[in-house]
Amino acid sequence: MKTPLKDGLQRVMKENRTRFHMPGHKGRQDFFLPLEWDFTEIPGTDDLHDPNGIIQASQNQAARIYGAKDTYYLVNGSTGGLQAALLAALAPGDSVVVPRNAHQSIHYGIEFAGADPIYLMPLQEKSGLLAGPDPVLFRQTIEAKKPAAAVFTYPTYEGVCWDLQSLIAICREHGVISIVDEAHGAHFSFFPSLPQSAVEMGADLVVQSAHKMLPAPTQTALLHRGSDVVPEAWIREALRRTQTSSPSYLLLLGIEEALHWMSEQHDPEELPALEICREAIRALPGIELLEGKRQDPYKFLISALGRGLSGPDLVQALRASGVEPEWQQGDLVLLMGAPYQNRADWTVLAKALEALPIGDDLNGDSIKPWMIQEIPERVMTTLQARRAKRSFVPIEESIGEILAENLTPYPPGIPVILAGERMTKEIALYLSWLKEKKGRIIGGNDRISIVCE
């Protein structure tokens, strides 16, 4: 047998680029544990799905670190954790308030729970970046629709934080379960000067990816119960539905090792150094560092249009300087650092940006991911749309049609339109533009499926 996967990864590794993308361990090998550490549920190894030994002791420590009532180790990413949280919190027919820029895992979780979503478009900051929902509109929606739960994305993929505390307070006042997708915020609790974690703010359920911002392997994540509003037994049961019955001990150990490192070895002094790097980037001519009012400093969202560089040109130039970014769309490029990163990497990044050539793209791309501000008409439920007879059309011919499948630019995995919704001109134009730029669209790379009415 040939080994295309291994060969391909080796080719990428040989490029030896500094990793400004997930996972948060950045490819450093310190935590690698050989297969002799991988077990199954035998005497002495405990059982993730019914823990009362070493796994439980490890999870209890994690709960103490984060200030949670209890914490669950996850081996199917935040995806499995968010879906379990939704399955535990919602009964079929319940309604749930969801930010329109929610990750696909949340939309799927709502679908699995048979719940009814009420979408809210998040507020946009001066930089253009999306933040959280408008508190006034949120309160009105809660009072009018009486949902069982509300989901929040905090921080966003780009690292924008916002006043989540007020929204959690509104939820509490109205008996609404607060579920926070904190996939990108597992490091907050380790730094007093970073935005506060949703667990500390008193959210009922919080899900964090360990693999995004902590030095942990891909797929690892944490679910925290911040209150007793959703009973522990319901969470355990839901986790059995969304995760494998054979959780990898290497992944579980990866979570513990990452938390151990964060607790004992990470350098809290690194934030001032990181700020110096950001300051240097802000001062570079022709480079824009896009930030939220409250920003995770590990995320660098950059446009170099002021130097005549399109997004693909910027990526190419960064690669030539040995830097591999996380994401590019239009003129924007996201570079994702993490606490485990070598300090020297930030200098590599700042130098790579300083050395950018001058290009000749003077117009750039006027389309930005946050430009879609409309919520399309929902004609039928997601499930009805998935089960309906379908046909396949190019995006341009789908305007006015009902989608049979979600269309999700990836990364970051945020659907722009969901199954059961009617395609609008604005969304079709956005998707066509993305396709023309060779962006990946899950569900829409080729022809897209629509419901035959």
Ligand X SMILES: Cc1ncc(COP(=O)(O)O)c(C=O)c1O
Binding site for ligand X (CB under 6 A): 77-79, 103, 105, 153, 157, 181, 183-184, 209, 221, 412-413
DSSP 334-385: EEE--TTS-HHHHHHHHHHHHTPPP----S-----GGG------B-S-HHHH
Q: Which residue has the tokens 């199917």?
A: 76
- Residue 394 structure tokens: 């190019």
Residue number with CB closer to ligand X (86 or 183): 183
Q: How far is the CB of 74 from ligand X (least distance, A)?
A: 8
Q: Which residue has the tokens 């560089």?
A: 309
Residue number with CB closer to ligand X (153 or 197): 153
If one counts every other C-beta atom within 10 angstroms of the C-beta of residue 30, the result is 10
The H or E element spanning position 241 is helix 232-242
Q: How far is the CB of 214 from ligand X (least distance, A)?
A: 11
Closest CA to 227 of 185, 183, 168, 187: 168
364: Cβ–Cβ under 8 A, 6 or more apart, which residues?
303, 305, 310, 330, 331
- Residue 273 structure tokens: 């150094």
Q: How far is the CB of 76 from ligand X (least distance, A)?
A: 7
Q: How far is the CB of 213 from ligand X (least distance, A)?
A: 11
Residue number with CB closer to ligand X (262 or 423): 262
Q: How far is the CB of 188 from ligand X (least distance, A)?
A: 14
Residue number with CB closer to ligand X (159 or 380): 159
227: Cβ–Cβ under 8 A, 6 or more apart, which residues?
69, 202, 204
The Cα-based distances of 125 to 45, 286, 290, 291, 345 in angstroms read: 48, 21, 10, 9, 29
Q: How far is the CB of 181 from ligand X (least distance, A)?
A: 5
The Cα-based distances of 364 to 124, 429, 440 in angstroms read: 21, 17, 20
Q: Which residues pair with 417 in a beta bridge?
A: 407
Residue number with CB closer to ligand X (46 or 181): 181
Q: How far is the CB of 108 from ligand X (least distance, A)?
A: 11
Residue number with CB closer to ligand X (105 or 424): 105
Residue number with CB closer to ligand X (183 or 416): 183
CA distance 201 to 446: 43
The Cα-based distances of 362 to 31, 135, 168, 179 in angstroms read: 46, 39, 44, 43
Residue number with CB closer to ligand X (105 or 328): 105
Q: Which residue of this chain has its Cβ atom nearest to ligand X in the complex?
A: 77
Q: How far is the CB of 103 from ligand X (least distance, A)?
A: 3
